[in-house]
Amino acid sequence: MSSTTELAELHDLIGNLRRCVTSLASRYGNSPATRRIVNDAERILNDIDRLDIDAEELELARGVSGHQHVGERIAIPDTQYDREFWRGVDDEGLGGTR
């Protein structure tokens, strides 16, 4: 959901769902089936609220990471380094010095 229009449409649909569930609950009373429907609708409403928060976070993340700099690639050779390059460096538990 990247568009505020899509989110607005979703909120309209959820509003319709809420009205339908309220109508069903008033028509059929407090039965187990009605309670399940009411609970499911509430869960969906909570998920939509979370979706709003997630959409805001995604928009912020896209704004921050959307401008990634593509730099030049630097080749790293597979050849061994000169032993003098590593003089005085501890192996930090990698099996001792060479």
Task: Give the pLDDT confidence of 27-75 residue by residue, as tens digits.
Answer: 999 899 999 999 998 898 888 888 878 877 777 667 654 445 556 777 7
27 token code pair:
């028509």
The pLDDT of residue 21 is above 50: yes
Q: Identify whether 67 is part of a domain.
A: no
Q: Identify whether 40 is part of a domain.
A: yes
Number of domains in the chain: 1
Q: Identify whether 44 is part of a domain.
A: yes
SS3 94: coil
Angle, alpha carbons 45-64-71 (nearest 5°): 145
The whole domain housing 43 covers: 29-56
pTM for the whole structure: 0.50
Q: Identify whether 62 is part of a domain.
A: no
Q: Identify whether 70 is part of a domain.
A: no
d(CA 37, CA 53): 25
